[in-house]
Amino acid sequence: MNRNDITEKIITAKVAKGITWESVAKKVGLSKEWVTAGCLGQMTFDGKQAKIIGRIFGLTAEEQKWLQVVPYKGSLPTPVPTDPLIYRWYEIVSVYGTTIKELIHEEFGDGIMSAIDFSMDIVRQPDPKGDRVNVVLSGKFLPYKQY
Amino acid sequence: MNRNDITEKIITAKVAKGITWESVAKKVGLSKEWVTAGCLGQMTFDGKQAKIIGRIFGLTAEEQKWLQVVPYKGSLPTPVPTDPLIYRWYEIVSVYGTTIKELIHEEFGDGIMSAIDFSMDIVRQPDPKGDRVNVVLSGKFLPYKQY
Amino acid sequence: MNRNDITEKIITAKVAKGITWESVAKKVGLSKEWVTAGCLGQMTFDGKQAKIIGRIFGLTAEEQKWLQVVPYKGSLPTPVPTDPLIYRWYEIVSVYGTTIKELIHEEFGDGIMSAIDFSMDIVRQPDPKGDRVNVVLSGKFLPYKQY
Amino acid sequence: MNRNDITEKIITAKVAKGITWESVAKKVGLSKEWVTAGCLGQMTFDGKQAKIIGRIFGLTAEEQKWLQVVPYKGSLPTPVPTDPLIYRWYEIVSVYGTTIKELIHEEFGDGIMSAIDFSMDIVRQPDPKGDRVNVVLSGKFLPYKQY
Amino acid sequence: MNRNDITEKIITAKVAKGITWESVAKKVGLSKEWVTAGCLGQMTFDGKQAKIIGRIFGLTAEEQKWLQVVPYKGSLPTPVPTDPLIYRWYEIVSVYGTTIKELIHEEFGDGIMSAIDFSMDIVRQPDPKGDRVNVVLSGKFLPYKQY
Amino acid sequence: MNRNDITEKIITAKVAKGITWESVAKKVGLSKEWVTAGCLGQMTFDGKQAKIIGRIFGLTAEEQKWLQVVPYKGSLPTPVPTDPLIYRWYEIVSVYGTTIKELIHEEFGDGIMSAIDFSMDIVRQPDPKGDRVNVVLSGKFLPYKQY
Amino acid sequence: MNRNDITEKIITAKVAKGITWESVAKKVGLSKEWVTAGCLGQMTFDGKQAKIIGRIFGLTAEEQKWLQVVPYKGSLPTPVPTDPLIYRWYEIVSVYGTTIKELIHEEFGDGIMSAIDFSMDIVRQPDPKGDRVNVVLSGKFLPYKQY
Amino acid sequence: MNRNDITEKIITAKVAKGITWESVAKKVGLSKEWVTAGCLGQMTFDGKQAKIIGRIFGLTAEEQKWLQVVPYKGSLPTPVPTDPLIYRWYEIVSVYGTTIKELIHEEFGDGIMSAIDFSMDIVRQPDPKGDRVNVVLSGKFLPYKQY
Amino acid sequence: MNRNDITEKIITAKVAKGITWESVAKKVGLSKEWVTAGCLGQMTFDGKQAKIIGRIFGLTAEEQKWLQVVPYKGSLPTPVPTDPLIYRWYEIVSVYGTTIKELIHEEFGDGIMSAIDFSMDIVRQPDPKGDRVNVVLSGKFLPYKQY
Amino acid sequence: MNRNDITEKIITAKVAKGITWESVAKKVGLSKEWVTAGCLGQMTFDGKQAKIIGRIFGLTAEEQKWLQVVPYKGSLPTPVPTDPLIYRWYEIVSVYGTTIKELIHEEFGDGIMSAIDFSMDIVRQPDPKGDRVNVVLSGKFLPYKQY
């Protein structure tokens, strides 16, 4: 048994029962972004959360334990993703990567935007010309230190 | 002569003269994100913009013409970026890619978030525990059509 | 269970029963291109369509639900396809890629031809020197916006 | 000296003088698709065509000879193209590749659509919801022979 | 079930029963090269041929149907083959590739040697210094057309 | 200076002067295949041959010495060749690789067809349905030895 | 001009004048690890440091400015390093990677060891059986946050 | 049966029973780093150690034998690791690789730091600004010999 | 069933019964290098040898037949091996590759050292400073022929 | 200036003057294998050796200094070498890699054969059936240590 087995079981239950990620997140009491990432095998739940998740998706006690083990992260099967929705994000990094780098350094100096002390919020923004996906990424700036 | 030559000349001038991207954007009258991407060879300027850019960085008339040619886009030398700041963005796509996909589909159905009808806004968010980089990405949702 | 399982089951039933894609498309009431892509795990059916597909290929109710889940897209096992028919298309992109880019930009300016607001029509064109495959690709032009 | 040098010289002249591919094609008397591909180093001109191209872009007699040498083809710097416009074509092959294969085989049997006995026509299709890029690809069907 | 399953079943039966490819080809009434490629999952048999193959290797009626489905071609597990016999062929392409290109273009002009309208004949050539493998490849020349 | 410089100089002279490989081979007194491969930097000439080549292409004495140095072989810029003519050969290896392996082993047992004790002959075969490229590859069979 | 030019100039001067990294670090007043990384184009100096570095290696005022620009980081030419000394480090990550992950998570929970709030100290440890290289890596633990 | 099966069985038992690596190491009587690496399939246990491991994780006698077989090492599924914690180590090699090389050569001359005669010690270092992960790597210096 | 299955069965039996390769080689009556390579699926046994191997490892008659089939060779899962012992050999090829090439050409002229008419002998060489692995590789020189 | 420049200068001088590696090695007083590797940019000379090399190939004092700098090692342009002579060595590692691993472990236990405390001797072995290349590789066995 491994974490992938749990992820597959969760997704299979989700499809069979028609569960939404948003409803799962509400029951867990955290954002839909973090909870979904956890269910997809990218984050680590604590015991109480694992129990809630387990009840929703019908996981055994042992399977709930796996939700509490830190997983080997990375959710994509190839270095360059083939799925069009995910590729567009890869393309943003490819086209705007050096721009993001320049502007963060211009504002903050040498360092990075953390992908760990990080949160993400995905919302629908109504627009008469076609609704938009708005995503707010928030990461702590971590300066390179001299030593 | 090609667009890369122009990009290198712009960056060399920027370092030598201590120009900031923000000041360039102000003179062009557009966002710092789009203007910087353009100066880094990822976007296409119109004639008037090219003239302003040309004056700031000391470009010849022919070099200004290159700014108006649609460039071959993609700003990174390797499929998986090595630079730590840019890698963190690649990591966000890698770790959260399937989550982003799930949540956009849950909200909008099958389709993508456009990387063309798209804008980005990078701002500093003061925080007593360490200032944060906040980035708002806004892309039009484009539904897959049945035919 | 995952979408691949459904795709394999569909193909196995197709071979065993000698079903044609064209006949499936007729029953669904849409183009053979879109319906085939859907059966091969690249598009998302709605409930009514899934039921029709399910009846044709003998899918269970749960399997029909999978047809309504947005799949992780990309139908090829390697970045450069080895199958000669598909490779020729890759070769067209390789040999004509920069040409396509130049001509679309010359006509429309900076932007892309959408692969989402997109349709494809494959027809046989009789020709005394050997019949031809004619393919019409139609994609909305999406201009890069300045912001 | 090699064909790449000629291609770069042609593009440099094109930008400097504001030449359009369509006007070049008209002078050569062939389609804009084939002529542009040739100018970008993917096709082979005959002596008369090379002279016309040479005059337009200011090429020497020796440079015109290079236009008549069959080039090493393939116009993209990476196996998976990074440029968004060209990537969308790669994505079409990735997402629809198995569909195209199935439908051509269903209609014609085992074989391929030629990328050599091939032509392409790119046209703007006006559309109130946004103009479209329509591309007609025509390739001779070549059947695999038994022997 | 898929074509690979059939190929594996054929090879397993071949080893168990000590069948030679040459004897299979004779029964099918075609060359050993084409028939072997077909049995290895690279070519498409018609109904009559599939029946003969099926009888030799003990395939069910459904498995015989799979022999009549056009397979996804490409018989090697890696882009650069590791098997020494097959690698030598890759090496010939690598070392002589540009030579083959130059000489075919010198004789025929721009175009290719078809790998579809193609046949191959592998024979043993006795030689006192050590017998040789002689292979004749025959492919129709296909000229690039101007349009 | 290196062998690539010599190869480029040879090709440049060939284009400028309109020299054919066949005429070079005749003057050297060997096959067009071997001589072309040598001129393209894949084979090693002896002193007398180098002098002849040198005279044809206008090489200095030092450049002629380079023709006598064993080159680092491999004539293609990428593992999977992008040029359509050369790719067709790669495709033959990909599609027929396991077939070639099976048939050589069936005839000769375990071993390989040499790519060193090897010759190649490319000829035009007139054909009313379109002339064909016929290529004879001849390689010594080298058996694996037990020890 | 770019940062690589500066790095090459520094290394050329270092070899010509026999400068040691340790002596440079002393003049800058920081660790030899950080200062060397900076001179090799991986860290960003401030104005005062750049002046010291500039004097040591004979850099112009403009070149000193480049030392103050945040570089595109990543010092290796290939994803898997070929140099034996550096490869051993890659091997440690390859062999011990999952062990390091397990033990840090066992001690700290889900999160990472920072490579930004990070320092390194390389020292010689005398040993009668052969001196050892001792390296102390110190990185702040950054916990994944729930949100 | 192979070593991977044993590793998976160990990890499954670890999760089910809530065993810590540290407690395993104590029972084996060696460092937690080496013992964990061994349990993860990277090191070779002797008979006595295998028995202890076997008792802890419930391995059969045959499974214990596999612990004593030297494994095929390398614990990561991809050349560039996707897991953020492990990637940070890859990044350290990427960013500091040339620095490490320079400083070891400056101190020791040409040679490497052994990854075989090697040990590692991972400890928590309390810090008011956030605890740190301290790792001491110790590898024998092995000089290149002249011969 | 395929050759890999046989190889895995052999290795599983070897571990369970504590068989050494040397003892297998003695029973077969050939070198330990060739016999081990054969048992690991890289060489082809004749009927008599297969019987001996079969008896040692408990293989069925059908499994023994597989030992007599020429396998698809190449024993490593990745182009660059991750196992430290095997990597060192890859490193020797990487570091000394051009040296080996130069010296063989200096002695023999253009050609290769055969990996087919080849033998290998691995022996322990006692040494007070630490025993050494001595490996003798012997390959027939095969000259490139002119034709 | 960098080490590659020196290597190229050495090779250019070698070709122009017809120097043999063996004669260089004799003057340096070490093996032809180590000295050639050094001249090809893979080993580090001391001052006295650099002077000798410098005199033979006409290197300036600064260039001789570069011979004393530890180079970034790895002599091949691609992970899988294309040159046939070098590829055969790669093939030996590929085909015999697991065999070498098994036999060294059977004799010595867990550990590696050093590629640093290593020597190589390439000799011609006369043989009536064709002379052979014999290569003796000698590497110290380095055992993995438990800690």
- Domain locations along chain D: 3-67, 77-106, 110-147
pLDDT for res J141: 98
Chosen for mutation from I87, I92, I94 (greatest number of chain G CBs closer than 10 Å) is I87
Rounded Cα distance between I132 and H85, Å, is 38
- With contact defined as 3+ CB pairs under 8 Å, the chains touching H are A, B, G, I, J
pLDDT, one tens digit per residue, over D58-106 is: 999 999 999 999 999 999 999 999 999 999 999 999 999 999 999 999 9
Confidence of residue I108 (pLDDT cuts 50, 70, 90): very high
**Chain J residues near residue E84 by CB distance under 8 angstroms:** 91, 95
Asked if H67 and H54 touch (Cβ cutoff 8 Å), the reply is yes
Chosen for mutation from I76, I78, I82, I93 (greatest number of chain G CBs closer than 10 Å) is I82
User: Is H146 at the interface with chain J, CB within 8 A?
Assistant: yes
A91 catalytic? Reply is yes
G23 catalytic? Reply is no
- Span F99-125, mean pLDDT? 98
Identify any residues that bridge with B112 across adjacent strands, giving them in sequence order: B142
Asked if E4 and E51 touch (Cβ cutoff 8 Å), the reply is no
**Chain C residues near residue A11 by CB distance under 8 angstroms:** 2
CA-nearest residue to F90 within chain C is C82
Asked if F15 and D65 touch (Cβ cutoff 8 Å), the reply is yes
Nearest C-alpha of chain E: how many angstroms from C6? 12
**Closest by Cα among H147, J37, J132, J4 to I102:** J37
Q: Give the residue carrying structure tokens 């659509």.
A: D113
User: Is B80 at the interface with chain G, CB within 8 A?
Assistant: yes
Count of CB contacts below 8 A, B vs C? Answer: 60
From residue F95, alpha-carbon distances to A86, E76, E77, E111, E116 in Å are 32, 8, 11, 21, 11
Rounded Cα distance between G21 and G23, Å, is 5
Interchain proximity I15–H72, CB inside 8 Å: no
pLDDT for res D78: 97
pLDDT tens digits in sequence order for chain A, 147 residues long:
899 999 999 999 999 999 999 999 999 999 999 999 999 999 999 999 999 999 999 999 999 999 999 999 999 999 999 999 999 999 999 999 999 999 999 999 999 999 999 999 999 999 999 999 999 999 999 999 999
Q: Is F18 exposed, middle or buried (0-12, 13-18, 19+ CB in 10 A)?
A: exposed
Interchain proximity A89–B86, CB inside 8 Å: no
Confidence of residue C122 (pLDDT cuts 50, 70, 90): very high
**Phi and psi torsions of E126, nearest 5°:** -60, 140
Amino acid at J133: V
pLDDT for res I26: 98
Q: DSSP of H46-65, one letter per residue? A: -HHHHHHHHHHHT--HHHHH
H helices, E strands: number in chain H: 6, 2
Mean pLDDT by 10 residues, chain B (147 residues): 96 98 98 98 98 98 98 97 98 98 98 98 98 98 96
Confidence of residue G61 (pLDDT cuts 50, 70, 90): very high
User: Is F77 at the interface with chain J, CB within 8 A?
Assistant: no
Count of CB contacts below 8 A, E vs F? Answer: 226
From residue E75, alpha-carbon distances to D106, E25, E83, I55, I75 in Å are 23, 19, 12, 34, 18
CA-nearest residue to C42 within chain D is D95
Interchain proximity C62–A8, CB inside 8 Å: no
**Chain A residues near residue G70 by CB distance under 8 angstroms:** 101, 105, 109-110
Cβ atoms within 10 Å, residue E128: 5
- Span D121-133, mean pLDDT? 98
Domain J3-67 architecture:
Orthogonal Bundle (1.10)
Interchain proximity J137–I92, CB inside 8 Å: yes
Asked if H35 and H60 touch (Cβ cutoff 8 Å), the reply is no
Type and span of the H or E element at C67: helix C61-67
User: Is A130 at the interface with chain B, CB within 8 A?
Assistant: yes
Q: Which CATH code for domain H84-143?
A: 3.30.1160.10
Rounded Cα distance between C71 and I18, Å, is 49
| Dihedral (Cα; F7, F9, F13, F16), 10-degree rounding | 110
User: Is I105 at the interface with chain F, CB within 8 A?
Assistant: yes
Interchain proximity J142–H33, CB inside 8 Å: no
pLDDT, chain C, mean: 98
Q: Is A11 exposed, middle or buried (0-12, 13-18, 19+ CB in 10 A)?
A: buried
- Span F92-103, mean pLDDT? 98
**Chain J residues near residue H144 by CB distance under 8 angstroms:** 43-44, 116
Rounded Cα distance between F112 and G121, Å, is 53
CA-nearest residue to A84 within chain C is C73
- Span H29-48, mean pLDDT? 98
Nearest C-alpha of chain G: how many angstroms from J24? 24
I138 catalytic? Reply is no
Confidence of residue E142 (pLDDT cuts 50, 70, 90): very high
Under DSSP, the state recorded for C19 is -
Domain F110-147 architecture:
2-Layer Sandwich (3.30)
Angle between helical axes of J32-39 and J47-57 (0-180°, round to 10): 70
Chains B+J touching (3+ CB pairs under 8 Å) = no
Q: How far is CA E96 from the centre of its chain?
A: 21
**Chain G residues near residue B12 by CB distance under 8 angstroms:** 1-2
pLDDT, chain I, mean: 98
pLDDT, chain E, mean: 98
Q: Where are the beta strands (DSSP E) in A20-131?
A: 111-125
Residue F24's SS3 state is helix
pLDDT, one tens digit per residue, over H20-36 is: 999 999 999 999 999 99
* Residues contacting I6, CB < 8 A, separation 6+: I41, I59, I63, I66, I67
CA-nearest residue to G95 within chain H is H74
Count of CB contacts below 8 A, A vs G? Answer: 60
User: Is E142 at the interface with chain C, CB within 8 A?
Assistant: no
- Per-residue HEC secondary structure of H16-44 comes to HHCCCHHHHHHHHCCCHHHHHHHHCCCCC
Confidence of residue J86 (pLDDT cuts 50, 70, 90): very high
User: Is F65 at the interface with chain J, CB within 8 A?
Assistant: yes
**Closest by Cα among J49, J120, J58 to J89:** J120
Nearest C-alpha of chain A: how many angstroms from H9? 8
Confidence of residue C78 (pLDDT cuts 50, 70, 90): very high
Confidence of residue J60 (pLDDT cuts 50, 70, 90): very high
pLDDT, one tens digit per residue, over E43-95 is: 999 999 999 999 999 999 999 999 999 999 999 999 999 999 999 999 999 99
Nearest C-alpha of chain J: how many angstroms from H109? 8
pLDDT for res D80: 98
Instruction: Tell me the catalytic residues of D.
Output: 88, 91, 114
Identify any residues that bridge with I125 across adjacent strands, giving them in sequence order: I132
Partner residue opposite G82 with nearest CB, options J1, J62, J74: J74
Partner residue opposite E141 with nearest CB, options F40, F101, F131: F131
pLDDT for res J44: 98
Cβ atoms within 10 Å, residue J115: 25
User: Is D136 at the interface with chain C, CB within 8 A?
Assistant: yes
- With contact defined as 3+ CB pairs under 8 Å, the chains touching F are C, D, E, I, J
* Residues contacting F59, CB < 8 A, separation 6+: F6, F9, F10, F53, F67
Angle between helical axes of G32-39 and G47-57 (0-180°, round to 10): 70
* ipTM of the prediction: 0.97
Partner residue opposite H65 with nearest CB, options I15, I83, I84: I15
Confidence of residue J43 (pLDDT cuts 50, 70, 90): very high
Nearest C-alpha of chain F: how many angstroms from J55? 20
Angle between helical axes of B21-28 and B47-57 (0-180°, round to 10): 140
**Chain J residues near residue E95 by CB distance under 8 angstroms:** 84
